[in-house]
Amino acid sequence: MFMNALLSGLTLGGVYALVAMGLTIQYGVSRSLNLGYGEFLIGAAFAVYVLFGALGISPYLLALVVVPVAFGLSWLIYRVMLTPILRRARTPVALEIDSLLLTFGLLFAMMGIMLLVFGSNYTSYTYLSVPVRILDATVALNRLVSFGAAVVVGALAFAFLMRTRTGMALRAVAVDPVGAQLVGIDVKWAAGLAFAIGGAIAALGGVLISTYMTFTAEMGVVFTMKALIVVIMAGVGHVVGALLVGLALGLIEAFVAAYLDPGLTVAVIYAVFLLALIVRPVGIFGRAVR
């Protein structure tokens, strides 16, 4: 049972970590909290479901189409919907509040469209659901592939942020937008790029979970909340922290479901979240602003 819970927690936590990293990049750079973030994940899951059923192409290959589309759509949303808010916001707090309200509406708009098209029924499909024996545990191959993909993409995204000039520009804007602008960085461009990258990562997460998890048009808010929990617990803008806390969240869910009761997973996660906020209000890896 221990190995089954461990493998299940790692595979689930890997996707949580990837999705939370995308929200961390979005919010940390653009200062716009996207409550519609999980809808991109579910939208990508439905897109792959439809394309896989119609074309029979591997979902992982379909990600090469779905993820760029999500990138472009996220960039368009930022330019058309969030840029006007950025212009009129007089303070960072006003920007966050306005973006919160706007993306709250975006959440329901996207959810409504998916409900209209796909209904409220649970949806799933079968792909690579082949059991693989690891030590004394059994795990489905699609979960292992998804975990491997999440690890690789997470490592590439981390390398992009840490080792490239563009990544350093995004980090500079996340730390100090005013200072970044003074050294010649186009803050609006960086914010739009970060928002688009976050949407693309959410879509990739949707492609990965669609191969082994049932989903509905109303589940986007669940993933948004879990991503927010990870981001806040880790510390806003801390990419490595989001990856580690995302993995921990998946492990907690798996072990609570295996040794206690699957119905207690949500309660335990929120209890851990509240405890972390009490002990470290700025996040486990965050730093207090002086």
Instruction: Dump pLDDT digits (tens) for 184-243.
Output: 889 889 999 999 999 999 999 999 999 999 999 999 998 999 899 998 888 877 888 888
How large a percentage of the chain has pLDDT more than 70? Answer: 98
If you average pLDDT over residues 150-173, what whole number do you get? 89
pLDDT at position 285 is 81
pLDDT at position 118 is 92
User: How many other C-beta atoms can be found within 10 angstroms of the C-beta atom of residue 272?
Assistant: 17
User: Distance between CA 241 and CA 243 in Å, rounded?
Assistant: 5
DSSP conformation letters of 61-111: HHHHHHHHHHHHHHHHHIIIIIHHHHHH--SHHHHHHHHHHHHHHHHHHHH
pLDDT at position 93 is 78
User: How many other C-beta atoms can be found within 10 angstroms of the C-beta atom of residue 67?
Assistant: 21
pLDDT at position 46 is 96
What are the backbone dihedrals phi and psi of residue 185, each rounded to the nearest 5 degrees, phi first? -85, 130
Instruction: Dump pLDDT digits (tens) for 16-62.
Output: 898 899 999 998 888 888 899 999 999 999 999 999 999 989 999 99
pLDDT at position 290 is 42
What are the contacts of 118-123 at 24+ separation with CB within 8 A?
Answer: 118/46, 118/217, 119/217, 120/216, 120/217, 120/218, 121/216, 122/214, 122/215, 122/216, 123/45, 123/46, 123/49, 123/214, 123/215, 123/216
CATH 1.10.3470 fits 2-279, yes or no: yes
* Res. 262 pLDDT band, cuts 50 70 90: confident
Rg, the chain, Cα only? 19
Question: What does the DSSP 8-state code read for residue 36?
Answer: T
Interior CA angle at 203 toward 147 and 221, to 5°?
95
If you average pLDDT over residues 104-118, what whole number do you get? 92
Lowest mean pLDDT among 59-68, 70-79, 256-265, 278-287: 278-287
If you average pLDDT over residues 173-186, what whole number do you get? 86
CB 66 within 8 A of CB 48: yes
pLDDT at position 283 is 83
